Amino acid sequence: MRAEDVQRLRAETPGCAEVIHFNNAGSALPPARVTETVIDHLRAEAARGGYEAAEAAAERVEGVYASFARLLNASPEDIALTDNATRSWQAVFYALRLGPGDKILTCRAEYASNAIAYLQSGATVEVVDDDETGQLDVADLERRIDERVKLISMTHVPTQGGLVNPAEQVGAVAERAGIPFLLDACQSTGQLDLDVTRLRCDAMSGTGRKYLRGPRGTGFLYVHPRLRARLEPVMLDLRSAVWTSTGEYEVAESARRFEVWERNVAATLGLGAAVDYALEIGLPAIEARVCELAATLRAMLSGITGVRVHDQGKRQSGIVTFSVDGMPSAELRAELARARINTTVTGATSAQYDFTARELPDLLRASVHYYNTEEEIRVLAEEVDRLRP
Protein backbone atom coordinates (compact mmCIF):
# COMPACT_ATOMS: atom_id res chain seq x y z
CA MET A 1 0.00 0.00 0.00
CA ARG A 2 1.49 3.32 -1.07
CA ALA A 3 2.13 6.11 1.43
CA GLU A 4 -0.30 8.40 -0.39
CA ASP A 5 -3.01 5.73 -0.12
CA VAL A 6 -2.47 5.48 3.63
CA GLN A 7 -2.71 9.24 3.99
CA ARG A 8 -5.96 9.29 2.01
CA LEU A 9 -7.44 6.54 4.13
CA ARG A 10 -6.41 8.39 7.28
CA ALA A 11 -7.99 11.58 5.98
CA GLU A 12 -11.21 9.62 5.45
CA THR A 13 -11.05 8.41 9.07
CA PRO A 14 -11.76 11.33 11.43
CA GLY A 15 -10.63 9.39 14.49
CA CYS A 16 -7.05 9.29 13.23
CA ALA A 17 -6.76 12.97 14.13
CA GLU A 18 -7.92 12.30 17.69
CA VAL A 19 -6.14 9.15 18.91
CA ILE A 20 -3.53 6.55 18.06
CA HIS A 21 -5.87 3.60 17.72
CA PHE A 22 -4.43 0.14 18.38
CA ASN A 23 -7.70 -1.44 19.46
CA ASN A 24 -8.91 -2.51 16.03
CA ALA A 25 -9.52 -6.07 17.20
CA GLY A 26 -11.98 -4.55 19.67
CA SER A 27 -13.68 -1.93 17.53
CA ALA A 28 -11.94 -0.13 14.67
CA LEU A 29 -12.28 3.53 13.77
CA PRO A 30 -14.98 3.82 11.08
CA PRO A 31 -14.43 5.73 7.87
CA ALA A 32 -16.55 8.85 7.55
CA ARG A 33 -18.58 7.18 4.82
CA VAL A 34 -19.85 4.55 7.28
CA THR A 35 -20.79 7.08 9.94
CA GLU A 36 -22.56 9.30 7.43
CA THR A 37 -24.50 6.35 6.02
CA VAL A 38 -25.82 5.47 9.46
CA ILE A 39 -26.69 9.06 10.36
CA ASP A 40 -28.39 9.72 7.01
CA HIS A 41 -30.75 6.79 7.53
CA LEU A 42 -31.50 7.77 11.11
CA ARG A 43 -32.47 11.20 9.82
CA ALA A 44 -34.69 9.59 7.19
CA GLU A 45 -36.43 7.58 9.92
CA ALA A 46 -36.95 10.72 11.98
CA ALA A 47 -38.35 12.63 9.01
CA ARG A 48 -40.43 9.92 7.32
CA GLY A 49 -41.01 7.10 9.79
CA GLY A 50 -39.06 3.92 10.44
CA TYR A 51 -41.07 1.58 8.20
CA GLU A 52 -41.24 4.12 5.39
CA ALA A 53 -37.50 4.80 5.51
CA ALA A 54 -36.81 1.07 5.50
CA GLU A 55 -39.05 0.58 2.47
CA ALA A 56 -37.20 3.31 0.60
CA ALA A 57 -33.86 1.69 1.50
CA ALA A 58 -34.92 -1.90 0.71
CA GLU A 59 -32.83 -2.16 -2.46
CA ARG A 60 -29.73 -0.89 -0.64
CA VAL A 61 -30.28 -3.38 2.19
CA GLU A 62 -30.46 -6.16 -0.39
CA GLY A 63 -27.16 -4.89 -1.72
CA VAL A 64 -25.49 -5.65 1.61
CA TYR A 65 -26.01 -9.38 0.98
CA ALA A 66 -24.41 -9.03 -2.44
CA SER A 67 -21.47 -7.14 -0.95
CA PHE A 68 -20.82 -9.89 1.60
CA ALA A 69 -21.11 -12.47 -1.14
CA ARG A 70 -18.32 -10.67 -3.01
CA LEU A 71 -16.24 -10.36 0.15
CA LEU A 72 -16.41 -14.09 0.92
CA ASN A 73 -16.79 -15.55 -2.60
CA ALA A 74 -20.22 -16.86 -1.73
CA SER A 75 -23.80 -16.50 -2.98
CA PRO A 76 -26.12 -13.85 -1.50
CA GLU A 77 -28.45 -16.69 -0.51
CA ASP A 78 -25.69 -18.04 1.74
CA ILE A 79 -25.57 -14.84 3.85
CA ALA A 80 -27.57 -13.85 6.91
CA LEU A 81 -27.28 -10.46 8.60
CA THR A 82 -27.43 -10.34 12.39
CA ASP A 83 -26.76 -7.99 15.28
CA ASN A 84 -23.40 -9.48 16.29
CA ALA A 85 -20.92 -12.29 15.67
CA THR A 86 -21.91 -14.28 18.75
CA ARG A 87 -25.55 -14.42 17.69
CA SER A 88 -24.44 -15.53 14.25
CA TRP A 89 -22.30 -18.32 15.70
CA GLN A 90 -24.98 -19.38 18.17
CA ALA A 91 -27.64 -19.59 15.47
CA VAL A 92 -25.75 -22.43 13.81
CA PHE A 93 -24.30 -24.10 16.90
CA TYR A 94 -27.60 -24.47 18.77
CA ALA A 95 -29.39 -25.60 15.60
CA LEU A 96 -27.05 -28.62 15.54
CA ARG A 97 -28.70 -29.75 18.79
CA LEU A 98 -25.65 -31.51 20.17
CA GLY A 99 -25.76 -33.30 23.49
CA PRO A 100 -24.39 -36.15 25.60
CA GLY A 101 -22.77 -38.80 23.45
CA ASP A 102 -21.69 -36.27 20.82
CA LYS A 103 -18.16 -34.91 20.54
CA ILE A 104 -16.90 -31.46 19.54
CA LEU A 105 -13.32 -30.92 18.38
CA THR A 106 -11.99 -27.42 18.91
CA CYS A 107 -8.71 -25.50 19.18
CA ARG A 108 -6.67 -24.37 22.16
CA ALA A 109 -7.12 -20.75 21.05
CA GLU A 110 -10.92 -21.03 21.33
CA TYR A 111 -12.93 -18.01 22.50
CA ALA A 112 -14.91 -17.95 25.75
CA SER A 113 -18.41 -17.51 24.29
CA ASN A 114 -17.96 -20.55 22.07
CA ALA A 115 -16.48 -22.70 24.83
CA ILE A 116 -19.33 -21.80 27.19
CA ALA A 117 -21.83 -22.95 24.55
CA TYR A 118 -19.95 -26.25 24.15
CA LEU A 119 -20.16 -26.87 27.88
CA GLN A 120 -23.83 -25.93 28.01
CA SER A 121 -24.67 -28.42 25.24
CA GLY A 122 -23.55 -31.40 27.30
CA ALA A 123 -21.43 -32.75 24.46
CA THR A 124 -17.87 -33.93 25.07
CA VAL A 125 -15.31 -31.25 24.22
CA GLU A 126 -11.86 -32.28 23.01
CA VAL A 127 -9.20 -29.61 22.59
CA VAL A 128 -6.89 -30.44 19.69
CA ASP A 129 -3.18 -30.04 20.45
CA ASP A 130 -1.10 -27.22 19.01
CA ASP A 131 1.86 -27.99 16.78
CA GLU A 132 5.38 -26.70 17.38
CA THR A 133 4.46 -23.24 16.01
CA GLY A 134 1.45 -22.82 18.30
CA GLN A 135 -1.26 -23.30 15.68
CA LEU A 136 -3.79 -26.13 15.67
CA ASP A 137 -2.10 -29.44 14.87
CA VAL A 138 -3.96 -30.77 11.84
CA ALA A 139 -2.48 -34.26 12.26
CA ASP A 140 -3.77 -34.41 15.83
CA LEU A 141 -7.17 -33.24 14.60
CA GLU A 142 -7.32 -36.16 12.16
CA ARG A 143 -6.30 -38.64 14.86
CA ARG A 144 -9.18 -37.55 17.08
CA ILE A 145 -11.94 -38.05 14.51
CA ASP A 146 -14.33 -40.94 15.22
CA GLU A 147 -18.02 -41.69 14.83
CA ARG A 148 -18.91 -39.53 17.85
CA VAL A 149 -17.51 -36.31 16.36
CA LYS A 150 -20.44 -34.19 15.21
CA LEU A 151 -18.70 -30.81 14.90
CA ILE A 152 -15.29 -29.30 14.22
CA SER A 153 -15.36 -25.73 15.50
CA MET A 154 -12.43 -23.34 15.51
CA THR A 155 -11.54 -19.72 16.08
CA HIS A 156 -9.61 -18.50 13.04
CA VAL A 157 -7.74 -15.64 14.74
CA PRO A 158 -7.92 -15.65 18.54
CA THR A 159 -8.70 -12.67 20.74
CA GLN A 160 -5.47 -13.22 22.70
CA GLY A 161 -2.78 -13.23 20.02
CA GLY A 162 -1.60 -12.88 16.46
CA LEU A 163 -1.96 -16.55 15.56
CA VAL A 164 -3.84 -17.46 12.36
CA ASN A 165 -5.10 -21.02 12.66
CA PRO A 166 -4.81 -23.24 9.52
CA ALA A 167 -8.47 -23.00 8.53
CA GLU A 168 -8.01 -24.27 4.98
CA GLN A 169 -6.35 -27.49 6.14
CA VAL A 170 -8.99 -27.96 8.84
CA GLY A 171 -11.71 -27.43 6.28
CA ALA A 172 -10.21 -30.08 4.04
CA VAL A 173 -10.12 -32.58 6.93
CA ALA A 174 -13.73 -31.82 7.88
CA GLU A 175 -14.92 -32.13 4.29
CA ARG A 176 -13.27 -35.53 3.83
CA ALA A 177 -14.78 -36.77 7.09
CA GLY A 178 -18.24 -35.37 6.35
CA ILE A 179 -18.27 -33.39 9.62
CA PRO A 180 -19.65 -29.84 9.80
CA PHE A 181 -16.94 -27.18 10.16
CA LEU A 182 -17.95 -23.98 12.00
CA LEU A 183 -15.39 -21.18 11.67
CA ASP A 184 -15.36 -18.18 13.99
CA ALA A 185 -13.98 -15.42 11.76
CA CYS A 186 -14.78 -12.58 14.15
CA GLN A 187 -11.18 -11.34 14.21
CA SER A 188 -10.12 -12.35 10.69
CA THR A 189 -12.92 -10.81 8.62
CA GLY A 190 -11.74 -7.50 7.22
CA GLN A 191 -8.04 -8.03 7.85
CA LEU A 192 -7.47 -11.32 5.97
CA ASP A 193 -8.51 -12.26 2.46
CA LEU A 194 -11.23 -14.87 3.12
CA ASP A 195 -12.74 -17.22 0.54
CA VAL A 196 -15.29 -19.74 1.77
CA THR A 197 -14.65 -22.09 -1.15
CA ARG A 198 -10.97 -22.18 -0.24
CA LEU A 199 -11.70 -22.47 3.48
CA ARG A 200 -14.27 -25.24 2.92
CA CYS A 201 -16.21 -24.17 5.99
CA ASP A 202 -19.87 -25.12 6.38
CA ALA A 203 -20.57 -21.97 8.37
CA MET A 204 -18.68 -18.79 9.25
CA SER A 205 -19.58 -16.05 11.71
CA GLY A 206 -18.23 -12.53 11.93
CA THR A 207 -18.82 -8.99 13.13
CA GLY A 208 -18.96 -5.54 11.63
CA ARG A 209 -17.24 -3.49 14.32
CA LYS A 210 -13.74 -4.93 14.18
CA TYR A 211 -11.54 -5.07 11.08
CA LEU A 212 -14.46 -4.39 8.72
CA ARG A 213 -14.76 -0.94 10.37
CA GLY A 214 -18.55 -1.11 10.47
CA PRO A 215 -21.00 -0.05 13.20
CA ARG A 216 -21.35 -1.85 16.49
CA GLY A 217 -24.41 -4.09 16.75
CA THR A 218 -23.86 -5.70 13.35
CA GLY A 219 -22.78 -9.17 12.32
CA PHE A 220 -23.04 -11.69 9.53
CA LEU A 221 -23.36 -15.42 9.06
CA TYR A 222 -22.36 -17.54 6.08
CA VAL A 223 -23.98 -20.98 5.84
CA HIS A 224 -23.29 -23.44 3.01
CA PRO A 225 -26.42 -24.96 1.41
CA ARG A 226 -25.32 -28.46 2.45
CA LEU A 227 -25.50 -27.48 6.11
CA ARG A 228 -28.51 -25.21 6.21
CA ALA A 229 -30.62 -27.86 4.41
CA ARG A 230 -30.33 -30.04 7.52
CA LEU A 231 -30.68 -27.33 10.16
CA GLU A 232 -33.83 -25.77 11.50
CA PRO A 233 -33.00 -22.84 13.78
CA VAL A 234 -33.90 -23.15 17.44
CA MET A 235 -35.94 -19.93 17.21
CA LEU A 236 -38.05 -18.81 14.25
CA ASP A 237 -40.12 -15.75 13.45
CA LEU A 238 -41.90 -14.33 10.43
CA ARG A 239 -38.56 -13.41 8.84
CA SER A 240 -36.97 -16.84 9.13
CA ALA A 241 -40.18 -18.70 8.29
CA VAL A 242 -43.60 -18.13 6.72
CA TRP A 243 -46.84 -19.02 8.52
CA THR A 244 -48.52 -20.78 5.60
CA SER A 245 -51.73 -21.90 7.33
CA THR A 246 -53.16 -22.03 10.83
CA GLY A 247 -51.24 -25.23 11.58
CA GLU A 248 -48.17 -24.99 9.32
CA TYR A 249 -45.08 -22.94 8.59
CA GLU A 250 -42.24 -23.10 6.06
CA VAL A 251 -38.66 -22.24 6.94
CA ALA A 252 -36.83 -19.94 4.50
CA GLU A 253 -34.56 -21.83 2.12
CA SER A 254 -31.77 -19.26 2.22
CA ALA A 255 -29.49 -18.39 5.12
CA ARG A 256 -32.09 -15.82 6.13
CA ARG A 257 -33.70 -18.65 8.09
CA PHE A 258 -31.18 -17.57 10.75
CA GLU A 259 -32.37 -13.95 10.84
CA VAL A 260 -35.13 -12.21 12.77
CA TRP A 261 -37.49 -9.62 11.34
CA GLU A 262 -36.57 -6.59 13.44
CA ARG A 263 -33.21 -5.02 12.67
CA ASN A 264 -31.32 -1.77 12.91
CA VAL A 265 -31.61 -0.68 9.29
CA ALA A 266 -29.24 2.27 9.73
CA ALA A 267 -26.54 -0.01 11.15
CA THR A 268 -27.15 -2.58 8.40
CA LEU A 269 -26.62 0.07 5.74
CA GLY A 270 -23.50 1.24 7.57
CA LEU A 271 -22.22 -2.34 7.57
CA GLY A 272 -22.77 -2.53 3.82
CA ALA A 273 -20.86 0.73 3.36
CA ALA A 274 -17.97 -0.72 5.41
CA VAL A 275 -17.84 -3.90 3.31
CA ASP A 276 -17.89 -1.89 0.09
CA TYR A 277 -15.09 0.31 1.43
CA ALA A 278 -12.95 -2.74 2.15
CA LEU A 279 -13.68 -4.19 -1.28
CA GLU A 280 -12.61 -0.94 -2.93
CA ILE A 281 -9.24 -1.08 -1.15
CA GLY A 282 -8.89 -4.80 -1.80
CA LEU A 283 -8.50 -7.49 0.84
CA PRO A 284 -5.10 -8.69 -0.45
CA ALA A 285 -3.73 -5.15 -0.04
CA ILE A 286 -5.33 -4.82 3.40
CA GLU A 287 -3.90 -8.13 4.59
CA ALA A 288 -0.41 -7.29 3.34
CA ARG A 289 -0.43 -3.88 5.04
CA VAL A 290 -1.84 -5.14 8.35
CA CYS A 291 0.57 -8.06 8.60
CA GLU A 292 3.56 -5.86 7.74
CA LEU A 293 2.66 -3.30 10.43
CA ALA A 294 2.14 -6.05 13.02
CA ALA A 295 5.52 -7.59 12.22
CA THR A 296 7.14 -4.17 12.67
CA LEU A 297 5.44 -3.72 16.04
CA ARG A 298 6.49 -7.19 17.24
CA ALA A 299 10.09 -6.47 16.26
CA MET A 300 10.13 -3.12 18.08
CA LEU A 301 8.57 -4.51 21.24
CA SER A 302 10.87 -7.53 21.24
CA GLY A 303 13.84 -5.16 21.36
CA ILE A 304 12.74 -3.57 24.64
CA THR A 305 14.19 -5.00 27.84
CA GLY A 306 11.55 -6.68 30.00
CA VAL A 307 8.92 -6.88 27.25
CA ARG A 308 7.72 -10.31 26.16
CA VAL A 309 5.72 -10.78 22.95
CA HIS A 310 3.41 -13.80 23.24
CA ASP A 311 2.12 -14.25 19.67
CA GLN A 312 2.34 -17.74 18.19
CA GLY A 313 1.73 -19.40 14.84
CA LYS A 314 3.37 -20.10 11.54
CA ARG A 315 1.16 -17.36 10.08
CA GLN A 316 0.35 -14.24 12.07
CA SER A 317 -2.22 -11.47 11.88
CA GLY A 318 -2.56 -7.85 12.95
CA ILE A 319 -3.08 -8.66 16.64
CA VAL A 320 -0.01 -8.24 18.85
CA THR A 321 -0.04 -9.35 22.50
CA PHE A 322 2.70 -8.69 25.01
CA SER A 323 3.47 -8.23 28.68
CA VAL A 324 5.93 -6.07 30.59
CA ASP A 325 7.81 -7.61 33.49
CA GLY A 326 6.81 -6.06 36.80
CA MET A 327 3.90 -4.05 35.40
CA PRO A 328 0.26 -5.25 35.26
CA SER A 329 -1.20 -4.98 31.78
CA ALA A 330 -4.22 -3.05 33.07
CA GLU A 331 -1.91 -0.41 34.53
CA LEU A 332 0.03 -0.18 31.26
CA ARG A 333 -3.19 0.19 29.29
CA ALA A 334 -4.31 3.06 31.54
CA GLU A 335 -0.98 4.85 31.17
CA LEU A 336 -1.07 4.49 27.39
CA ALA A 337 -4.61 5.82 27.33
CA ARG A 338 -3.38 8.98 29.06
CA ALA A 339 -1.07 9.42 26.08
CA ARG A 340 -4.10 8.97 23.76
CA ILE A 341 -2.96 5.53 22.65
CA ASN A 342 -5.80 2.99 22.57
CA THR A 343 -5.04 -0.63 23.48
CA THR A 344 -6.85 -3.26 25.55
CA VAL A 345 -6.20 -6.12 27.96
CA THR A 346 -7.00 -9.76 27.29
CA GLY A 347 -7.09 -12.33 30.06
CA ALA A 348 -7.80 -15.93 30.95
CA THR A 349 -11.59 -15.55 31.12
CA SER A 350 -11.57 -14.95 27.37
CA ALA A 351 -9.46 -17.99 26.47
CA GLN A 352 -9.06 -20.46 29.33
CA TYR A 353 -7.64 -23.33 27.24
CA ASP A 354 -4.76 -21.20 25.96
CA PHE A 355 -4.01 -19.10 29.05
CA THR A 356 -4.02 -22.18 31.28
CA ALA A 357 -1.84 -24.28 28.98
CA ARG A 358 0.75 -21.52 28.52
CA GLU A 359 0.44 -20.09 32.05
CA LEU A 360 -0.02 -16.61 30.62
CA PRO A 361 -0.52 -13.42 32.61
CA ASP A 362 -3.08 -10.84 31.51
CA LEU A 363 -1.79 -9.52 28.18
CA LEU A 364 -1.73 -6.05 26.64
CA ARG A 365 -3.22 -6.29 23.15
CA ALA A 366 -2.30 -3.82 20.42
CA SER A 367 -4.07 -4.54 17.13
CA VAL A 368 -3.03 -2.62 14.04
CA HIS A 369 -5.02 -1.68 10.95
CA TYR A 370 -4.01 -0.35 7.55
CA TYR A 371 -4.60 3.27 8.59
CA ASN A 372 -2.01 3.01 11.35
CA THR A 373 1.48 4.27 10.53
CA GLU A 374 5.04 3.28 11.26
CA GLU A 375 5.38 6.52 13.25
CA GLU A 376 2.44 5.54 15.47
CA ILE A 377 4.07 2.17 16.08
CA ARG A 378 7.30 3.93 17.06
CA VAL A 379 5.37 6.17 19.49
CA LEU A 380 3.75 3.13 21.11
CA ALA A 381 7.07 1.33 21.49
CA GLU A 382 8.72 4.42 22.97
CA GLU A 383 5.88 4.86 25.48
CA VAL A 384 6.14 1.21 26.55
CA ASP A 385 9.89 1.63 26.97
CA ARG A 386 9.38 4.79 29.02
CA LEU A 387 6.71 3.25 31.24
CA ARG A 388 8.33 -0.09 32.02
CA PRO A 389 9.65 -0.45 35.59
Which domain CATH number covers 182?
A: 3.40.640.10
Residue 213 and residue 332 share a domain:
no
Domain count, the chain: 2
pLDDT value at position 212?
98
Instruction: Enter the pTM of the model.
Output: 0.97
Domain edge (last residue) among 230, 251, 280? 280
Q: Average pLDDT in the 180-197 region? A: 98
Q: Give the Cα separation of 136 and 127 in Å (integer).
A: 9
- CA 360 – CA 160 distance, rounded (Å): 10
- Tell me, yes or no, whether 237 and 327 share the same domain: no
pLDDT of residue 142: 98
Q: What is the pLDDT of residue 4?
A: 97
Q: What mean pLDDT comes out for the span 242-269?
A: 98
60 shares its domain with 70: yes
CATH of the domain at 15: 3.90.1150.10
Cα dihedral 281, 285, 288, 292, rounded to 10, equals -60
Let me know whether 25 and 51 are in one domain.
no
The residue-averaged pLDDT of 99-116 equals 98
Q: Identify the pLDDT of residue 319.
A: 98
* Distances from the Cα of 172 to the Cα of 177, 193, 194, 276, angstroms: 9, 18, 15, 29
Mean predicted confidence (pLDDT) in 90-101: 98
Task: Indicate the pLDDT class of residue 24, thresholds 50, 70 and 90.
Answer: very high
Burial 55-78 (b: 16+ CB within 10 A, else e): eebeeebebbbebbbebbebbbbb
Q: Are residues 177 and 229 located together in one domain of the fold? A: yes
Question: Are 23 and 156 part of one and the same domain?
Answer: no
The predicted-structure confidence for 291-343, as pLDDT tens digits, reads as follows 999 999 999 999 999 999 999 999 999 999 999 999 999 999 999 999 999 99
> What's the mean pLDDT when you consider all of the chain?
98
Q: Are 174 and 88 within one domain?
A: yes
Contact 204, 185 (CB under 8 A): yes
Tens digit of pLDDT for each residue in 145-159?
999 999 999 999 999
Domain span including residue 272: 33-280
C-alpha to C-alpha distance for 320 and 120, rounded to whole angstroms: 31
Q: Is 273 in the same domain as 311?
A: no
Cα–Cα distance between 218 and 213 in angstroms, integer?
11
Boundary of a domain, candidates 280, 296, 320: 280
Final residue belonging to a domain, choices 254, 280, 306: 280
pLDDT tier for residue 84 given thresholds of 50, 70 and 90 = very high
Confidence class for position 389, pLDDT limits 50, 70, 90: very high
Regarding whether 228 and 205 lie in a shared domain, the answer is yes
Distances (CA, A) of 42 to 48, 53, 73, 263: 10, 9, 31, 13
If we measure between CA atoms, which residue out of 194, 184, 164, 213 comes closest to residue 318? 164
pLDDT (tens digit, 9 = 90+) per residue, 347-366? Answer: 999 999 999 999 999 999 99
Identity of the residue numbered 19 = V
Mean pLDDT of 54-58: 98
- 101 and 38 in a single domain? The answer is yes
- Residue 143: the pLDDT is 98
By percentage, how much of the chain surpasses pLDDT 70? Answer: 100
Do 240 and 287 lie in one domain? The reply is no
Q: According to DSSP H, which parts of the chain are helical?
A: 3-11, 32-48, 50-56, 58-72, 85-95, 112-121, 138-144, 167-177, 196-199, 225-228, 265-281, 283-302, 329-338, 352-358, 374-387
Q: Can you give the pLDDT at residue 301?
A: 98
Residue 311 and residue 213 share a domain: no
Rounded distance, CA 143 to CA 209, Å? Answer: 37
Per-residue model confidence (pLDDT) at position 378: 98
What pLDDT is recorded for position 176?
98
